[in-house]
Amino acid sequence: MKFPAPDYVAEVLSSSTEQNNRGVKFEDYSAHGVGEYWVADAQREEVEKHLLRGRRFAAAETLRKGSIASTVIAGFEVRVGALFHREANLKALRRLLA
């Protein structure tokens, strides 16, 4: 393939993108072999983690607190709050860049 599918994709929902993210993109990513798909809902401050099982995604977990870790990217883990709150985000970025 000239442009292979990524191993991991994350999307942030909005009222204008939710149907597309949970519909067309969800099906497209699974059909092309994306191994892991996170859907971040800023309104609910939660992250859904979906893992590819065969040719379809299966819900792995939905978190509103604590940390979420990638299954396909070794060592990639982030606190859920860091995705939604500026100060926690900056703290997480500083830790990653240190």
CATH number of 8-97: 3.40.50
Residue spans per domain, the chain: 8-97
- Which pLDDT belongs to residue 79? 93
pTM of this structure: 0.89
- Give the C-alpha distances (Å, rounded to integers) separating 25 from 9, 18, 32: 10, 10, 10
Q: What is the pLDDT of residue 1?
A: 62
pLDDT tens sequence across 9-37: 999 999 898 999 999 999 999 999 999 99
Whole-number Å distance between alpha carbons of 49 and 8: 10
